[in-house]
Structure 1
Amino acid sequence: MKNWLFRIYMYLMKIGARFTKIRENKIVVLNGAGRSGSNGYLFAKYMKKNHPEYEITVVEPWPSSHLPLSTWREIGAAKFILTTHQPFKIHAKQVNIQFWHGIPLKRMGIMANNTKRKTDMRNAKLWQKNADVVCSNSDLYETLMSACCAIETTKYQKVGFPRLDALKHPALSKAQLLTALFKVQDEQAQIAIYMPTFRYEMEDEQIMAQIKAGNFFALPDFDAESLNESLKAKHQYLIVKLHPYEMQLLGMQTSHYSNIAYLNNDYLFAHDYDLYELLGNTDMLITDYSSIYFDYLILDKPIIFVTNYLRQYEQKRGLLLGPYEEVVPGICVKTQADLLAGLSAPDRKQQKRQYWLHLTNQLQHESACAAIYTLMANQY
């Protein structure tokens, strides 16, 4: 019932905004990616700094049923509508540039195990109708996206993703990041960041109970005190960035441990950062089934994969590439003991990282933001 009401609301608001005159220099970013590698938010920052002749409005969160009519009129006035999730526009004369929010690793749309055919077909039609440009950085990306969303090949433009610009040019130095999150100075420091996928969709109460109890890794032998002591002994620091739902479930905004820090969206919003503006000065990524690891490849730094719920995740939603343990360019761990061993071991996966980097990023230009601006200015 709520879905139907929301769709009616969206339809009525689109009608109300349709009579607004389009302004040639107006850009609206519909940001559904928050501050976790948001191409839309980062592109808006670039445009405000480098092209003040354009009028930029960032609408977030998106979609929302709480937007005032004035915001809808801003959307209706935009020549360019940039989206991080479903393609959207009000007028046929508007140009929708689809950024999306990651290279797909998890199955989605018509490829997923946990979606409905009717919904998948409706979403595929939205891509066909509303997406004018789909930003890309590789043939592999286009193949994976089209497999999931039935996108025509003519819509793709290999211009890259703004989030990778931020990853290559961090807003904070490593020392500043260490001071901001851990309140320490340590010239020997190694900073790891843990970013899992949204685990709630596995619908496993046991996993959620472990996270609520403080076991953010959901590992069978988790011991936070032991983990912290091991990190401390090796001058290692762990940033934990969970999905907002899991952070709320955890119930703690600050860590009680010297070498473990929680990074939440409140901090990012308060300091006007996107996560990717900090990520470049970390030394190691720990993840599970999140596609963030594809982006992290450009840094050529170690990646550890937590795979204790791999089979369950494959059954519930599914992955686009496999076998998983053979595909991923890093060691796979299922226990805290394995994780600690991985944090201590020298990295031997550089060649595999480079292999996957060449498959997932064929672009050589310095700035995706500049390439996207050029596309907008010259072709539209």
Structure 2
Amino acid sequence: MSYFSRLKDISFIRKCLLFTTHFLGYLNRVIPKKEKQILFYDSGRDFLDDNTEALYSWMCMHGYDKRYKLVVCVPRETTRLPFSHYEPIGALKGIWAYLRSKYVFYSFGDFRIEPSKKQVVINQWHGTPLKTIGKLTNYSVYANERLDCFTYVLSASDFFKPILAKAFGCDESKVMVLGHTRIDYLFSTKEALACIGIEKGNYKKLFLWMPTFRTSNDGRFHDLGSGENTSLPIAGTYAELELLNRFLIARKALLVVKVHPLATFKSNKNFSNILVLKNEDTISRGVRLYELVKEFDALITDYSSIFCDYLVLDRPMAFTLDDMEAYGHNRGFILSDLTNYMPGHHVRTMDDFRAFIDDCIHDKDPYAAERKRVLPFFCKYSDGNNCKRLLEKVHITL
């Protein structure tokens, strides 16, 4: 079968699926809802993750599961269930649960079923978007499709309210400014480093490096061609990582590289002061991402939304920008002047990288005022009460 034939088949299947969900939207108007049933689902995930997981776990921890029926839908009905003891249902049962539930929460994907006026369907999304999404992308497939099959989509700030409205093609009245529920984990007292075998007292400073993905591990996404050998920005070769490792040893510092869930990382050796972590490394030890994030003295990232959330902790940050022009041309950024909203060291070379580490080692924090200036653009709330605030807003009470 030719490439263009496959594209036609995919397009036909997509049209069939959209027709089906359109029909289900009409059906959804007449099917009665269970007032005490709440559906949580994440499309394409093996388990609840991100903002959806944070809200679900918070509700269980505070006894909401005693008053409400909490239903969890993940497509593959996996038996791999980190963090919670739910019994998930698959996609088909999930659609029926959607049609019967008074409340629905999701962070990834959607059923594309128009909510009933008797429902509250919340698109929590998965972070403040820096890269283009939805109707702001150059993906023509989104141009003529409805992306606002929800009652509300959540924004973490007033600044991003009109941006999200444009991205999902909805009125600003459907954008609620509340805050990402996953941020509540930044206020956790859990000793996450100990859970993954890191003794914090052995190091003067702990650095977390979270690059966004350039090439996805399933081959579907190519935001940028992978770097030589390592697929990391700045440190593209193992020789560079070896030199960086020696630098860290001399300063009694640890660098943890947290690989993006969609990313590839080519590793053929271990380093004493550079630790590479994948999702399975933390999940298998019962550690959520943001429980880990809060443990570090400083963050190194790039165009990932992690920095928007890390601002809440008011700690030093650095941004690797060596491939910013190419990345922006390929994927595209929502803010044309993005660097003006990056309150930290702008790293384009390994010398810049090392300079940031040295500043942190010596407790120099030249961008503290900038972080305070930028915070309101990305986070309206920084009190660790986002789960509670969301439930109160949609009138889910004990």
Distance 1:160 1:209 in 2: 34
2:261 alignment counterpart: 244
1:106 Cα offset (Å): 1.4
Which structure has greater helix proportion? 1
1:214 alignment counterpart: 230
Contact 2:245-2:273 at 8 Å conserved across structures: yes
1:2 alignment counterpart: 10
1:189 Cα offset (Å): 3.6
Contact 1:238-1:261 at 8 Å conserved across structures: yes
Query: Equivalent of 2:127, from 102, 105, 114?
Result: 102
1:199 alignment counterpart: 214
1:37 Cα offset (Å): 7.2
2:58 alignment counterpart: 46
Query: Equivalent of 2:371, from 329, 350, 353?
Result: 353
2:394 alignment counterpart: 376
1:217-232, aligned counterparts within 5 Å?
A: 217-219=233-235, 223-232=240-249
1:81 alignment counterpart: 104
Going from structure 1 to structure 2, the CA distance change for 1:215 and 1:84 (only over 3 Å counts) comes to closer
Q: % of aligned pairs identical?
A: 24
Distance 1:21 1:251 in 2: 53
Going from structure 1 to structure 2, the CA distance change for 1:73 and 1:378 (only over 3 Å counts) comes to closer
Distance 2:376 2:109 in 1: 27
Structure 1 residues 211-237: Cα deviation after superposition (integer angstroms, max 9, x where no partner): xx2353354576121111212222221
1:238 Cα offset (Å): 1.5
Distance 1:3 1:266 in 2: 34
Query: Equivalent of 1:155, from 142, 167, 174?
Result: 174
Going from structure 1 to structure 2, the CA distance change for 1:182 and 1:87 (only over 3 Å counts) comes to same
Secondary structure, aligned partner of 2:132: coil
Distance 2:49 2:293 in 1: 9
1:301 Cα offset (Å): 0.6
1:207-356, aligned counterparts within 5 Å?
A: 207-208=225-226, 210=228, 213-219=229-235, 223-247=240-264, 249-250=265-266, 256-345=270-359, 346-356=364-374
1:115 alignment counterpart: 139
Going from structure 1 to structure 2, the CA distance change for 1:263 and 1:219 (only over 3 Å counts) comes to closer
Contact 1:30-1:62 at 8 Å conserved across structures: no
Distance 1:15 1:251 in 2: 46
Which residue identity lines up with residue 249 of structure 2 in the other structure? K
Contact 1:37-1:276 at 8 Å conserved across structures: no
1:146 alignment counterpart: 165
Contact 1:191-1:238 at 8 Å conserved across structures: yes
Going from structure 1 to structure 2, the CA distance change for 1:367 and 1:328 (only over 3 Å counts) comes to same
Contact 1:194-1:240 at 8 Å conserved across structures: yes
Contact 1:36-1:276 at 8 Å conserved across structures: no
Distance 2:311 2:34 in 1: 39
Distance 1:105 1:185 in 2: 32
Distance 2:69 2:329 in 1: 46
Going from structure 1 to structure 2, the CA distance change for 1:58 and 1:262 (only over 3 Å counts) comes to farther
2:39 alignment counterpart: 28
Going from structure 1 to structure 2, the CA distance change for 1:82 and 1:192 (only over 3 Å counts) comes to same
1:20 Cα offset (Å): 7.2
Unpaired segments ≥5 residues, structure 2: 1-8, 79-88, 216-220
Secondary structure, aligned partner of 2:160: helix
Structure 1 residues 293-313: Cα deviation after superposition (integer angstroms, max 9, x where no partner): 111101001111111111111
Going from structure 1 to structure 2, the CA distance change for 1:157 and 1:196 (only over 3 Å counts) comes to same
Deviation larger for 295-304 or 133-142: 133-142
Deviation larger for 303-312 or 29-38: 29-38
Distance 1:36 1:189 in 2: 35
Secondary structure, aligned partner of 2:147: helix
1:149 Cα offset (Å): 2.5
Contact 1:31-1:62 at 8 Å conserved across structures: no
Contact 2:123-2:150 at 8 Å conserved across structures: yes
TM-score, normalised with respect to structure 1: 0.83
1:68 Cα offset (Å): 5.5
Deviation larger for 341-350 or 102-111: 102-111
Which residue identity lines up with residue 77 of structure 1 in the other structure? R
1:101 Cα offset (Å): 1.0
2:86 alignment counterpart: none
Contact 1:329-1:356 at 8 Å conserved across structures: yes
Which residue identity lines up with residue 101 of structure 1 in the other structure? H
1:95 Cα offset (Å): 1.9
Distance 1:340 1:331 in 2: 11
